[in-house]
């Protein structure tokens, strides 16, 4: 193989820089594009036609699996998946002998993975690559409503497990969300819209564009003229949007007033 064209897709700029630096240490490797979200990755793959893609599993707009779906398994080049610790994803990759990197990874682990990917590029033809990716997508079961019972949160070199019931409220942060848990804040790499769909609707309710509350933490519903707020057990007061009021009342077991 003369020149190996690689596309790097990761929403974290430091991760993109590390991957690009390590790739560029190989004279026969050219980084064709760096992409910060799933939509950019789809566009970059279609435009640059890379031979190999380093693809972050969780990204804004589209996640790694959705990128593959959008490009199409028949047009998708071989992939090295990049992920923070994700038990399901790692198990899926191991079962299918797919290449992956778990962040944070060492230079040695990167070199091992790149060498393995190079061998697979030589040994595998396009139909086999497509078959592997199709099998991975088929095995990915959609999350059922109310199925999210715990969060995995990276804390330095540790991964902390936080039960959903322990979360006081969730705040939107662009394409991510901040979990407020007993006075502590944890960034979670998932959009609030997606979390709303996966959390138990009897336990959590979205009260405006940027907040989901744990109903077990609600202590007061306050009304000041046209402005409604909820007071949580920890003293946090959050605004309730007009369009979310009736749903909040129903979830709290109170019939909404009809004007």
Q: So what's the pLDDT on residue 259?
A: 46
Q: Choose the weakest-confidence range: 60-64, 175-179, 245-249.
A: 60-64
Provide mean pLDDT across the span 178-195.
Answer: 89
Diameter of the chain measured on Cα atoms: 73
Q: How many CA atoms lie within 13 A of 179 on its CB side?
A: 24
Q: For the chain, give every domain's residue range.
A: 4-139, 150-251
Task: Flag whether pLDDT at 5 surpasses 80.
Answer: yes
Q: Which helix (H) or strand (E) element contains residue 70?
A: helix 64-71
pLDDT at 258 over 60: no
- pLDDT tens across 194-204, in order? 788 889 988 99
Residue 146 — pLDDT band, cuts 50, 70, 90? low
Beta bridge partners of 205: 213
- Averaged pLDDT, 129-153: 74
Q: What was the pLDDT predicted at 28?
A: 95
Assigned superfamily of 150-251: LytTr DNA-binding domain (2.40.50.1020)
DSSP states of 215-251: GGGEEEEEEETTEEEEEETTS-EEEE-GGGHHHHHHH
Using the predicted structure, report yes or no on whether residue 228 has a pLDDT greater than 50: yes
pLDDT tens sequence across 65-122: 889 988 988 889 999 999 875 665 666 576 555 788 888 889 999 999 999 999 988 8
Domain 4-139 listed as CATH 3.30.70.360: no
Q: Contact, 165 vs 214, CB < 8 A?
A: yes
Quick one: which of 251, 236, 239, 248 has its CA closest to 182? 236
- End-to-end CA distance of the chain: give it in Å, rounded: 72
Query: What percentage of residues in the chain have a pLDDT greater than 90?
Result: 50
């Amino acid at each position: 193989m003369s020149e190996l064209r690689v596309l790097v897709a990761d929403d974290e700029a430091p991760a993109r820089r590390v991957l690009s630096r390590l790739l560029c240490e190989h004279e026969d490797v050219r980084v064709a594009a760096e992409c910060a979200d799933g939509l950019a990755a789809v566009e970059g793959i279609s435009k640059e036609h890379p031979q190999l893609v380093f693809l972050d599993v969780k990204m804004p707009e589209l996640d790694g699996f959705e990128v593959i779906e959008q490009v199409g398994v028949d047009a998708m080049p071989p992939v090295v998946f990049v992920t923070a610790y994700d038990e399901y994803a790692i198990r899926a990759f191991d079962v299918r002998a797919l290449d992956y990197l778990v962040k944070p990874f060492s230079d040695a682990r990167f070199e091992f993975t790149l060498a393995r990917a190079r061998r697979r590029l030589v040994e595998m033809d396009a139909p086999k690559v497509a078959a592997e990716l199709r099998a991975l997508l088929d095995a990915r079961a959609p999350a059922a409503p109310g199925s999210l019972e715990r969060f995995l949160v990276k804390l330095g070199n540790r991964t902390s497990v936080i039960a959903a019931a322990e979360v006081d409220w969730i705040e939107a942060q662009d394409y991510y969300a901040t979990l407020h848990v007993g006075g502590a804040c944890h960034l979670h790499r998932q959009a609030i819209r997606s979390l709303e769909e996966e959390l138990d609707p009897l336990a959590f309710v979205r009260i405006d564009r940027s907040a989901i509350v744990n109903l077990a933490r609600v202590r007061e519903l306050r009304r000041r003229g046209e402005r409604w707020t909820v007071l949580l057990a920890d003293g946090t007061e959050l605004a309730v949007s007009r369009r979310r009021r009736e749903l909040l009342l129903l979830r709290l077991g109170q019939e909404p007033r009809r004007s």
